[in-house]
Amino acid sequence: MLTYLLKERSGRFVLLGTGCLLAGYLCQFLSLPLVSTLCFYIAIFFLGYQATKNAIVDTWQNRQLNVDLLMILAALGACTIGFESEGALLLFIFAVAEVLEQYANDRSSSAITALMSQVPETAQRLLPSGETEEVLTGELKVGDQILIAKGAQISIDGTVESAVEVNEAALTGESVPVHKNIGEEVYAGTVNAGQSFVLKVSKTADQTVFSNIIRMVEEAENRPSKASRFIDKIENKYVWSVLIAVPLFIALLHFGQGLSFQEAFYRGMVFLTVASPCALVASATPATLAAISKGARNGILVKGGAALEALNQMEHLLSEKTGTLTFGAFDVVDYELADELLAEVVFMEQHSTHPIAQAIVTKFKAVDLSKLDRQQEVEELTGSGLRKGSIQIGKPSDFSGFADPKGIQGKLSQSDYTYVLVSKDQQIQGYLALSDQIRPQAKEAVKNFQAAGVTVHMLTGDNEKVAQHVAAELGIDQYQAAMMPEDKIHYVKTGQDKGYIMGMIGDGINDAPALALADISVAMGSGSAVAMESADIVIVKNDLAKLYQEFESSRKLKRIIRENIIFAVGVIIGLVIANFFGWITLPYAVLFHEGSTILVILNGLRMLK
């Protein structure tokens, strides 16, 4: 803490002011009234400098009054009636509370700063000759190859060209190294836990997961919760109310109760101090920033306090199946297709990033594509597969009006596999059967959400048989099969029309409209950029258990903010009543009022645990 105070200008002023305040009390004890008064005034200058600056800037530039103004006026008022020590003490505790709040905010973002400091600024780029050259990561382009030494931190996102072990603790919080196969992606800031390997750059330095974390957290600070917005909205009006009430209060005591003007004015300064909403203003923001920081440290990117607020109110959670509830790492287990059409399918699927497409390409990577017409365009049918000329591939529901001379569709209804059909000239020619595995952590997360009162729905484009099988395995009662993108939008809107708070998880381009419509939207870090931009929350790894952890964190944040607000308002009311009856002096008013602010901030920092 001392290091922090010395580093910041406001902190150094607090230290100087504290020294002068202590010197003033010492001189007062030694019966040196002139010297002690001078020390108190110097202390007031240093301790009140930042508050005065904030008050002037807000009043002049933003046409807004804030709590800093109340504190300055209270301190100056105390000085005018000879209570310099009380004025200095007031500003001392207020300045300490302000510095502590700033420290809390900085502490909340320190995890992000620490995260970024782990990303190397340079990389070893491989040259055609086989030698390496050291370059700045900002100079790397997509397609460049870099060498990652054993134990080194990875400097940029890319795909591995050999099987490797990577420690992703800095990104996801999981300390167990993750095995990466050839072609799988690794992220900047993670650590090579195995032998040296070659990395093919897949994203530029400003597009990496780490750079997105920084951008999203910075944006989050400008997206406050409803509680924060409400407090900010009433602060100006509240300060005006106090400034009007103080002279009326002094007049009431002086003319109504017959107190001397000095005594009435003194009690007015106490009122000005205790009525200041310092603790109330600090009730939400430090705790919210701490929660956002904690989430980022654990691989959850939350885009603001409003997203956390919506998350803790969520009543229904709609989840995509592939890649979220299941691994999405499909494997082709059966197929019936002529060789020339199989080659066409492999070529077409190379144009898609869908897990099913990748599985087909991987399974049939040895198929000869040299005789294919590569000039003909491959068209992506949103939510319905791919088309190249007269050839179309997609899920069975997309071929309901097609001729089926081999009776293939009848065979598929008897299996739990995921099927891709292939047609030519409006006739179904064959199929590929794929299998997917359920994520163990998803099963636990579904159970936890349901226990917390959140209804989980599974939405999938797969057929009824597959959907029913996966839903039964996960214990999900609500599921919808064979869904198109517009069906997901309708599903979200139907729930909202009934008054429910709807959450949505997705990872593809076709999920983006539903994500944008949902009250709280969640995207998987391995999903499309469009889905991540549309979402309120991004899970770096496809782990639904982490979303439940953030759900629990959002509930804790709600409790802490509610505790802070009740406590802050209670202290203000209690101190105002005590002052009305003359039961409290300015030093005690300062101690209790600013002490409550410090307690509120410390309570908010519990979110970092």
The 10s digit of each residue's pLDDT in 455-465 is 999 988 777 77
For residue 112, pLDDT over 60 is answered with no
> What tokens were used for 105?
């905010």
Confidence bin at 451 (pLDDT 50/70/90): very high
CA distance 573 to 485: 53
What is the model's pLDDT at position 455?
A: 93
76-77-83-85 Cα dihedral, nearest 10 degrees = -30
For residue 549, pLDDT over 70 is answered with yes
- What burial letters (b/e) apply to 192-201, b meaning 16+ CB within 10 Å? bbbeebebbb
> Which single residue is written with the structure tokens 């099988």?
469
What is the model's pLDDT at position 111?
A: 52
For residue 385, pLDDT over 80 is answered with yes
- Tell me the average pLDDT across 543-555: 87
The pLDDT tens digits for 321-364 are 877 788 767 788 889 899 889 999 999 988 887 778 888 998 89
What is the model's pLDDT at position 224?
A: 55
CA distance 336 to 430: 5
Coil, strand or helix at 494:
helix
Confidence bin at 104 (pLDDT 50/70/90): low
What is the model's pLDDT at position 266?
A: 86
CA distance 68 to 316: 43
The pLDDT tens digits for 228-250 are 666 667 777 888 888 888 889 88
CA distance 565 to 281: 9
Q: Which of 217-226, 280-289, 563-572, 600-609 has the lowest mean pLDDT?
A: 217-226
Chain mean pLDDT for the chain: 81
Amino acid at 71: M
Contacts with 190 (C-beta within 8 Å, 6 or more apart), sequence order: 153, 154, 166, 167, 168, 169, 170, 171
What is the model's pLDDT at position 416?
A: 67
CA distance 146 to 166: 16
Residue 285 host element (H or E):
helix 285-297
For residue 383, pLDDT over 90 is answered with no
Confidence bin at 35 (pLDDT 50/70/90): very high
Q: Which of 64-68, 261-265, 583-587 has the lowest mean pLDDT?
A: 64-68
For residue 5, pLDDT over 60 is answered with no
What is the model's pLDDT at position 109?
A: 54
Amino acid at 450: Q
For residue 374, pLDDT over 60 is answered with yes
CA distance 116 to 135: 18
What is the model's pLDDT at position 1?
A: 53
The answer to whether 167 and 191 have CB atoms below 8 angstroms apart is yes
The pLDDT tens digits for 150-189 are 888 888 889 998 888 888 766 554 555 778 888 888 888 7
Strands 164-167 and 178-180: antiparallel
pTM score, two decimals? Answer: 0.63
The answer to whether 474 and 347 have CB atoms below 8 angstroms apart is no
Residue 167 host element (H or E):
strand 164-167
The CA-CA-CA angle for residues 498, 456, 357, to 5°, reads 115
DSSP 8-state assignment for residue 252? I
According to DSSP, the residues that pair with 75 across neighbouring strands are none
Sequential DSSP letters for 193-242: -SS-EEEEE-S-GGGSHHHHHHHHHHHHTTS--HHHHHHHHHHHHHHHHH
Q: In what order do the strands lie in the sheet with 191-192?
A: 178-180, 164-167, 191-192
Amino acid at 204: T
| Closest to 570 in 3D by CA, of 603, 591, 592, 590 | 592
For residue 54, pLDDT over 90 is answered with no
CA distance 133 to 145: 11
The sign of the CA dihedral 218, 223, 229, 233 is positive
Confidence bin at 391 (pLDDT 50/70/90): very high
- Tell me the average pLDDT across 578-595: 83
For residue 214, pLDDT over 90 is answered with no
The answer to whether 5 and 100 have CB atoms below 8 angstroms apart is no
Coil, strand or helix at 66:
coil
